[in-house]
């Protein structure tokens, strides 16, 4: 809340959310946050649950929850009714704000009041004298985010005020955005990057624009119409934007206003980022790596590092295009082996993170931090000689063949460097002799001609022979969730027939 109060004090009349012509100013946003807090207090809500897409109401609801000192809980509105109700039921008593016309999805739950977002937004427009009667309590829970968890019940990651505030103070310079700057947010509110985008841009004084449902044509139109200067996308979004820009042909006006484009939240196929760098020569690219449990970004590959990697002949430097760059100043990274001991240099292991923005806590399960404050991410990775971090994938996805641990990420990285390969995933399937066999699913470009033998030979040449795929399956596409994460579990089910029973 203090972040917004400062922004409202620093640039009250600037537009904070929406179009330059009729958007909400920072002073308006501050007033709506106050009205949200009044409403939450009057019904004694213990949480504010959101089952809605991004809208101009979203930032006010987020800050209003903090003002009232209660957690903001954005849910994945795409979930089936049963799952949505199950999650909402876990955080009562609460006031739930629903996407217009959908309050019925959450009706009748014990301790849960439901209000339509349009109705709520109209009520929040009453003006009151805004006394900043909020208190900053570092231990207050600011946001609860249900992690997408591929197995079992989703866990609710706890982000306290102190985690988010230290992330923002450590990574954003207050009021650093020029008046003409605008950021386009197309990740949903239940994704940590969606929350971080609101906080960062408000603190920087940058106008927020939202695209509730991503569609590449609409995204490009909005960038051009509103003069968007920065945006964050997940890899699948960038792939589709690149495709769309390419289809515009040589007469394409490009995206001249877009100064900065950050991406994260999943693996980026090398050809996509190389093509994007080529199509948008004036845009500065940032690859951000972070987790829900770490209050968003913990490492980034900056614009100059992108261009340097592409321009280099040194394979070690060129390879950094596939890295997530170096840790933020307030973050320590340590690579650990299975026993929790520090792994030797350049050796892959579990990525452990430490810093003030790292929470590592789940509601009802306590903190997962070690006694020394480290959060074991369960992401595999390694550091190169200059501290660039390479993320190879979830430890749970490691393929165990003949007693050897094989990270799918390293095989995929090699395959994705082949010009004919649009996308690739390596999985382990049951094998009577070896425990698991390596099966790779490859999406080839339509016009490309590539054989399974050629890809196997490539992997054998680049990596050790025990990394060579036992089978290559060509597919039309790989299964992703709506925020760009590859669904390996779905892929394993889809290709189960390629393993031994």
Partner 1 sequence: MPELTPGSRWASQVCTTEVIVVRAPDGDVDLECGASPVVAAGGSGPDGSPDAGAADGSLLGKRYVDGDDTLELLCTKPGDGSLGVGGTLLGLKEAKPLPASD
Which parts of this chain interact with partner 1 (CB under 8 A)?
Answer: 2, 5-6, 9-10, 135-138, 162, 165, 169-176, 183, 193, 196-197, 200-201, 203-204, 206, 230, 232, 260, 262, 264, 284, 286, 288, 296-297, 300, 302-303, 328-329
Report, in Å, the least distance between residue 71 CB and partner 1.
Answer: 17
Tell me how crowded residue 341 is: count the other CB atoms within 10 A of its CB. Answer: 9
Count Cβ neighbours within 10 Å for each residue of 359-389 and write b for 16 or more, e otherwise. Answer: bbbbbeeeebbeeeebbbbebbbbbbeeebb
Q: Which is nearer to partner 1, 84 or 193 (CB)?
A: 193
Q: How far apart are CA 384 and CA 16, in angstroms?
A: 40
Q: Are 323 and 386 in contact (CB under 8 A)?
A: no
The dihedral built from the CA positions of residue 156, 269, 460 and 334, taken in this order, carries a sign that is negative
Quote the radius of gyration of the chain (alpha carbons, Å): 23
Report, in Å, the least distance between residue 27 CB and partner 1.
Answer: 15
Q: How far apart are CA 196 and CA 113, in angstroms?
A: 27
Q: Which is nearer to partner 1, 227 or 479 (CB)?
A: 227
Report, in Å, the least distance between residue 1 CB and partner 1.
Answer: 10
Q: Which is nearer to partner 1, 260 or 452 (CB)?
A: 260
Q: Which is nearer to partner 1, 200 or 377 (CB)?
A: 200
Report, in Å, the least distance between residue 492 CB and partner 1.
Answer: 31
Q: Which is nearer to partner 1, 13 or 453 (CB)?
A: 13
Q: How far apart are CA 146 and CA 76, in angstroms?
A: 8
Report, in Å, the least distance between residue 302 CB and partner 1.
Answer: 5
Q: Which is nearer to partner 1, 201 or 483 (CB)?
A: 201
Q: Are 100 and 122 in contact (CB under 8 A)?
A: no
Q: Is 160 left (phi over 0), alpha (psi -120 to 50) or beta?
A: beta
Report, in Å, the least distance between residue 247 CB and partner 1.
Answer: 28
Q: Which is nearer to partner 1, 356 or 462 (CB)?
A: 356
DSSP class of residue 65 equals H
Structural tokens at position 188 = 């949903």
Report, in Å, the least distance between residue 292 CB and partner 1.
Answer: 13
Question: Torsion angle of alpha carbons 71, 77, 81, 87, nearest 10°?
Answer: -20
């Amino acid at each position: 809340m203090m972040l917004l109060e400062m922004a409202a004090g620093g640039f009250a009349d600037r537009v904070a959310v929406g179009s330059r012509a009729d958007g909400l100013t920072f002073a308006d946003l501050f007033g709506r946050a106050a009205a949200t807090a009044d409403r939450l207090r009057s019904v004694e809500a213990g949480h504010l649950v959101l089952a809605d897409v991004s809208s101009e109401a979203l930032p006010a609801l987020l800050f209003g929850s903090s003002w009232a000192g209660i957690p903001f809980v954005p849910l994945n509105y795409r979930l089936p009714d049963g799952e949505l109700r199950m999650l909402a039921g876990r955080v009562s008593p609460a006031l739930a704000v629903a996407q217009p016309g959908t309050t019925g999805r959450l009706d009748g739950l014990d301790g849960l009041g439901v209000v339509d977002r349009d109705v709520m937004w109209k009520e929040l427009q009453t003006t009151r004298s805004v006394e900043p009667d909020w208190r900053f309590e570092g231990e207050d829970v600011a946001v609860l985010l249900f992690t997408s968890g591929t197995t079992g019940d989703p866990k609710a990651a706890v982000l306290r005020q102190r985690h988010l505030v230290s992330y923002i103070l450590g990574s954003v310079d207050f009021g650093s955005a020029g008046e003409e700057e605008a950021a386009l947010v197309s990740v949903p509110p239940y994704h940590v990057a969606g929350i971080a985008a609101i906080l960062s841009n408000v603190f920087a004084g940058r106008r927020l624009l939202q695209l509730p449902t991503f569609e590449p044509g609409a995204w490009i139109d909005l960038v051009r119409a509103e003069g968007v200067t920065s945006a964050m996308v997940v890899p699948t979004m960038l792939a589709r934007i690149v495709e769309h820009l390419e289809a515009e042909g040589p007469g394409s006006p490009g995206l001249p206003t877009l100064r900065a484009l950050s991406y994260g939240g999943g693996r980026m196929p090398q050809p996509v980022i190389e093509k994007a760098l080529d199509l948008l020569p004036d845009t500065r690219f940032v690859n951000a790596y972070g987790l829900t449990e770490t209050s968003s970004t913990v490492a980034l590959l900056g614009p100059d590092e992108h261009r340097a990697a592409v321009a280099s002949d040194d394979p070690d430097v060129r390879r950094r295009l596939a890295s997530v760059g170096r840790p933020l100043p307030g973050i320590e990274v340590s690579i650990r082996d299975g026993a929790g001991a520090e792994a030797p240099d350049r050796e892959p292991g579990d990525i452990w993170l430490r810093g003030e923005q790292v929470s590592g806590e789940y509601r009802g399960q306590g903190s997962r931090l070690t006694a020394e404050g480290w959060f074991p991410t369960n992401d595999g990775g390694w550091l190169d000689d200059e501290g660039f971090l390479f993320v190879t994938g979830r430890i749970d996805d490691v393929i165990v063949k003949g007693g050897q641990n094989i990270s799918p990420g390293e095989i995929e990285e090699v395959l994705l460097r082949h010009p004919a390969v649009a996308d690739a995933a390596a999985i382990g399937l049951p094998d009577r002799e070896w425990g698991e066999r390596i099966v790779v699913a490859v999406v080839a470009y339509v016009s490309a001609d590539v054989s399974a033998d050629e890809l196997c030979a490539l992997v054998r040449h680049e990596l050790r022979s025990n990394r060579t795929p036992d089978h290559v399956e060509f597919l039309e596409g790989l299964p992703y969730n709506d925020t760009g994460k590859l669904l390996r579990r779905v892929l394993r089910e889809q290709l189960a027939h390629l393993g031994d029973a």
